[in-house]
Amino acid sequence: MKLMVIGLGQCGSRIGDEFVRLNRRAQKERHATIITGGYAVNTDQADLTGLRYIDSDYLHRILIGGRKTWGHGVGKVNEIGAELAREDGDKIIDAIKTAPRFYETHAFLLIAGAAGGTGSGAISVIAQMLKERYIGKQVYALVTLPFEHEEVSELRSVYNSATCLKSIYSVADGVFLADNQRYVRKDASMATNLQRINRFIVEPFYDLMCAGEITKYRHVGAKTLDAGDIMQSIEGWTVVGSGSTSLPPAFRFPWRLAKSHFREKGAESIRAIQAMDAALSELSLGCSPEDAGRALYLLAAPHNEMSMDIAKSLGDYLRELAENAVIRSGDYPREKGTVDVSILLSQLAFVQKVRDYYDRASAFAHTQKERIKETTGRLRDMEEAAKELPSLI
Ligand SMILES: Nc1nc2c(ncn2[C@@H]2O[C@H](COP(=O)(O)OP(=O)(O)OP(=O)(O)O)[C@@H](O)[C@H]2O)c(=O)[nH]1
Ligand SMILES: [Mg+2]
214 pLDDT more than 90 = no
- Does CATH number 3.40.640.10 belong to domain 3-215? no
Q: Hey, which residues does 184 pair with through a beta bridge?
A: none
- In angstroms, the Cα distances linking 301 to 22, 168, 257, 283 are 19, 36, 16, 20
Q: What percentage of the chain has pLDDT greater than the value 70? A: 93
DSSP β-ladder status, 294-301 and 338-346: antiparallel
Strand runs labelled E in 146-253 = 174-179, 236-246
The Cα–Cα gap between 346 and 204 comes to: 14
Reduce the DSSP state of residue 82 to 3 states and report it. Answer: helix
Phi, psi (rounded to 5 degrees) for 63 = -90, 125
Q: Whose CA is nearest to atom 5 of ligand 1?
A: 11
In this structure, is the dihedral angle defined by the CA atoms of residues 331, 337, 339 and 342, taken in order, positive or negative?
negative
E strand or H helix at 155:
helix 155-171
- In angstroms, the Cα distances linking 315 to 63, 154, 272, 318 are 46, 43, 11, 5
Ligand 1 close to Cβ of residue 271 (< 6 A): no
CB 38 within 8 A of CB 54: yes
Sequence-separated (6 or more) residues with CB below 8 Å from residue 198? 14, 15, 17, 18
Listing DSSP states for 316-344 in one string gives HHHHHHSTTSEEEEEEEE--SSEEEEEEE
Ligand 1 close to Cβ of residue 147 (< 6 A): yes
Q: Hey, which residues does 222 pair with through a beta bridge?
A: none
For ligand 1, what atom is nearest to the CA of residue 78? 24
- Looking at residue 263, its pLDDT comes to 60
- Looking at residue 133, its pLDDT comes to 96
- Does CATH number 3.40.30.10 belong to domain 227-346? no
In this structure, is the dihedral angle defined by the CA atoms of residues 258, 263, 264 and 265, taken in order, positive or negative?
positive
Ligand 1 close to Cβ of residue 243 (< 6 A): no
CB 158 within 8 A of CB 353: no
Instruction: Name the band, by pLDDT with cuts 50, 70 and 90, for residue 253.
Output: low
Phi, psi (rounded to 5 degrees) for 134 = -115, 75
The Cα–Cα gap between 176 and 347 comes to: 10
Instruction: Using CB atoms within 10 Å of the CB of residue 52, give its burial: 0 to 12 exposed, 13 to 18 middle, 19+ buried.
Output: exposed
Find the range with the poorest average confidence among 15-19, 62-66, 182-186, 311-315.
182-186
Q: Whose CA is nearest to atom 28 of ligand 1?
A: 146
The Cα–Cα gap between 288 and 321 comes to: 8
Ligand 1 close to Cβ of residue 9 (< 6 A): yes
Longest dimension (CA), the chain: 101
pTM of the model: 0.93
Q: Whose CA is nearest to atom 18 of ligand 1?
A: 9
- Looking at residue 89, its pLDDT comes to 96
The Cα–Cα gap between 186 and 193 comes to: 9
For ligand 1, what atom is nearest to the CA of residue 75? 24
Which ligand has its closest atom nearest to the C-alpha of 284? 1
Q: What is the pLDDT of residues 43-97, one digit of tens each?
A: 999 999 999 999 999 999 999 997 777 777 788 899 999 999 999 999 999 999 9
The Cα–Cα gap between 124 and 88 comes to: 14
Domain ranges of the chain: 3-215, 227-346
Ligand 1 close to Cβ of residue 138 (< 6 A): no
Query: Ligand 1 pocket check: which of 15, 41, 144 to mutate, most ligand atoms within 8 Å of Cβ?
Result: 144
- In angstroms, the Cα distances linking 290 to 242, 293, 294 are 18, 8, 10
Ligand 1 close to Cβ of residue 284 (< 6 A): no
Q: Whose CA is nearest to atom 22 of ligand 1?
A: 117
Round the average pLDDT of the chain to a whole number and report it.
Answer: 91
Ligand 1 close to Cβ of residue 116 (< 6 A): yes
Residue 353 CA, ligand 1 centroid: distance in Å: 18
Residue 119 CA, ligand 1 centroid: distance in Å: 8
For ligand 1, what atom is nearest to the CA of residue 157? 27
Q: What is the pLDDT of residues 116-173, one digit of tens each?
A: 999 999 999 999 999 999 998 999 999 999 999 999 988 899 999 999 999 999 999 9
- In angstroms, the Cα distances linking 92 to 40, 60, 66, 223 are 9, 9, 14, 37
What is the pLDDT averaged over residues 297-303? 92
